[in-house]
Amino acid sequence: MLPADCVNLIEIRDLHFAYGKRKVLEGLELDIPRGKVVAILGTSGCGKSTLLQLIGGALRPARGSVKVCGEDVHALDQAGLYRLRRQIGMMFQKGGLFSDLSVYENVAFPIREHTRLPEDIVSDLVKLKLHAVGLRGAVGLHPTELSGGMARRVALARAIALDPDLLIYDEPFAGLDPITLNVICHLIRTLNDALGSTSVVVTYDVPEAVKLADYLYLMGEGRILGHGPTKEMLASDDPFVRQFLHAQPDGPVPFHFPATPIGEELELTPARYPPRSVRAL
């Protein structure tokens, strides 16, 4: 278990990361307080999923630190990293279930991987986790037999299989119908509170994030451009925060990816494109 006296479960300082020459994170800093549901919002491609991989140690930063309850993730050896990951439950985009395993086997997998519990106890734990997400009757099904919403709930049951201190959700609402979306949102909130966990929800779904989260972070330009308690963020006068949370088309977020002016690139000169005559019109 992670130390009980830890105020911030995650502390990130001056985080830099790039894919080749393309810079993704440039000096990003944030704190995730223990016991809260925190949403990290941002436009597609802003580095949200990359940030999650850095938190889990799957990627290494060019500079900066990622600490989970005081432990520098990227200073840990393999054994230390695996020990830390045991306290982290991850719900991947689109569920990430093992397609050749049944629902039961998918949820049992992390329990068997990280413990030596007898099979009768494993069975009880799997049924309890599936019951928590309303799918205890689906133990014998395979992922191909599940709807998108059911697969997402099985993924959630697998994420909470070991009662982790930290639960991470990567785009949990993408592609869901309104009813299923609300079910997943409700489950994330109630399971976080019931387990006493800390939840990090990475998403671009503003309405659900606002309804779900205690605290919001807004990512852009490789940094955190706004953060605060949800109610304060909704009332913010900051141009970027207001544009993103209220879906305004005009604001600091540009429509065009950086490029040379279109006139220069197409060589739009009068000699090349003479004015059309009135008769031609």
User: Does residue 154 lie within any of the structural domains?
Assistant: no
pLDDT, the chain, mean: 86
By residue range, what is the domain housing residue 243?
Answer: 1-35+43-87+205-249
b (16+ CB within 10 A) / e for 179-195: ebbebbbebbbebbeeb
**Rounded-to-integer distance, Cα 216 and Cα 204, Å:** 12
Interval 69-116: pLDDT, tens? 788 999 999 999 888 888 889 888 777 899 999 999 999 999 998 889
Distances (CA, A) of 266 to 197, 225, 269: 55, 35, 9
Question: pTM score, two decimals?
Answer: 0.82
How many separate domains does the chain show? 1
User: Does residue 10 lie within any of the structural domains?
Assistant: yes
User: Does residue 48 lie within any of the structural domains?
Assistant: yes
User: Does residue 165 lie within any of the structural domains?
Assistant: no
User: Does residue 57 lie within any of the structural domains?
Assistant: yes
Which CATH number covers residue 82? Answer: 3.40.50.300
User: Does residue 257 lie within any of the structural domains?
Assistant: no
Distances (CA, A) of 111 to 128, 164, 220, 272: 13, 12, 37, 69
Interval 159-196: pLDDT, tens? 999 999 999 998 888 878 888 888 888 889 998 998 88
Average pLDDT (30-49) is 88
User: Does residue 161 lie within any of the structural domains?
Assistant: no
User: Does residue 68 lie within any of the structural domains?
Assistant: yes
**Rounded-to-integer distance, Cα 258 and Cα 98, Å:** 40
